[in-house]
Structure 1
Amino acid sequence: MTTEAQADRQIIITRQFDAPARIVFLAHSKPEHVKRWFGPVDWPLTTCEMDFRVGGRFHFAMTGPNDEPGPPFGGEYLEIEQDRRIVYTNGFDAPGSPRFVTEVTLEETGGKTTLTQVTTFESKAVRDQYVEMGYAEGTNSAYDQLGDVAVELKG
């Protein structure tokens, strides 16, 4: 696992999964799988609406411990390359909330997949705000769960 801040506006997270790229991609592309891993451990997705195609949109919301509702968020899928790459916008649904772009790339070697997520924020200040909110920790917690889901899906 690697997490780093780069280019003042980016957070880059790299993870390896014990599953082929097609399985990791599948876990990103179907709501029934995304609901099982997306979000920090104690903040499951309680809303997971996805139109997984270029130009399609998604809308998510999480609920935390003690049924604490998280702010809804979502975005648009900009690029999808089967089993290799997903690019999408994201951000909270509140008016005036900053938007960011996330690119997920998958590289398979020997049946294992290296996932690299590059998130580019509008500015360094916005990136710093998301760092303070625990963006990297939450994403890595989600990817821990994705590892479990990917192993189950590969059978």
Structure 2
Amino acid sequence: MSDEPENVRAITITRLIDAPAHLVFAAHADPVHVKRWFGPVGWPLSTCEMDFRVGGRFHFQMTSDAGELGPPFGGTYLEIVPNLRIRYDNSFEAPGSPVMVTTLSFDEDAEGRTLLTHHTVFESQAVHDEYRGLGFEEGTGSSLDLLADEVREMVAEMGGG
């Protein structure tokens, strides 16, 4: 990682999801759910392998609705605090790809809604700027919108909606 301050290397995106933290967390912990929401609209996961435990690895690949295969990427789960936080590193699997570290925080309010904070720190400001230019915020935001839809389905399956 760079000596540059974190604030010039980070992107934070939040979503308020109308469901308790344990359901939003569960949607991140189970590959059945992750495969339904992860990735921007039009780029669903075609590969979703997860060993969801500290030190476990994940391997993902997206395929566009038009059949274009995206580059494989993955990482390692660094911290898992059930219903509160997940932290992992992540990079494309090509040699020399920059590594980013993402922390997901699940903060449930008194009404049972969850503020999900997606905080990603890039290796350098240059990498941050490159990913921002490639649409990182829009793609992540789109994915989080799909996550909210998935959690809504989970609530409905439980008879809550």
Query: Please, what TM-score do these two structures have when normalized by structure 1?
Result: 0.95
- Equivalent-residue separation in structure 2 for 1:121 and 1:98 (angstroms): 8
Q: Secondary structure at the match of 1:13?
A: strand
Alignment of 1:101-116 (within 5 A): 101-109=101-109, 110-116=111-117
Distance in 2 of aligned mates of 1:118 and 1:105? 8
How many angstroms apart in 1 are the aligned matches of 2:78 and 2:135?
25
In the alignment, residue 71 of structure 1 is paired with which amino acid? P
CA deviations 1:92-112 (Å, max 9, x no partner) are 000000001000000001110
Cα distance, 1:65 vs structure 2:
3.1
Unaligned 5+ segments in structure 2 are: 1-5, 157-161
Describe how 1:1-155 pairs up with structure 2 within 5 A: 7-109=7-109, 110-155=111-156
Offset, 1:152: 1.0
Amino acid at match of 1:148: D
The one-letter amino acid of 2:141's match is: N
SS across alignment from 1:65: coil
Aligned residues: CA RMSD:
0.8
In the TM superposition, what whole-angstrom CA distance separates every residue of 1:117-151 from its partner, at most 9, and x where no partner exists? Answer: 11000000000110011111000000111011101
Number of residue pairs aligned between Structure 1 and Structure 2: 150
| Paired residue secondary structure (1:66) | coil
The amino acid that maps onto 1:32 is: V
When normalised by structure 2's length, the TM-score is 0.92
**What is the letter of the counterpart of residue 112 of structure 1?**
R
Structure 2: distance between partners of 1:7 and 1:107: 22
Q: Secondary structure of the equivalent of 1:11? A: strand
Q: Tell me which amino acid in the other structure corresponds to 2:79.
A: E
Long gaps (5+) in structure 1: 1-5
What SS does the aligned partner of 2:66 have? helix
Distance 2:13 2:153 in 1: 23
Q: Which has the higher strand share?
A: 1
Which amino acid in the other structure matches residue 82 of structure 2?
A: Q
Counterpart Cα distance in 1 of 2:32 and 2:146: 14
What letter is aligned with 2:46? Answer: T
Give % identity: 58
Question: Which amino acid is the alignment partner of residue 136 of structure 1?
Answer: E
SS of 1:147's equivalent?
A: helix
Larger radius of gyration: 2
How far apart are the structure 2 equivalents of 1:96 and 1:132? Answer: 20
Amino acid in the other structure paired with 2:56: G
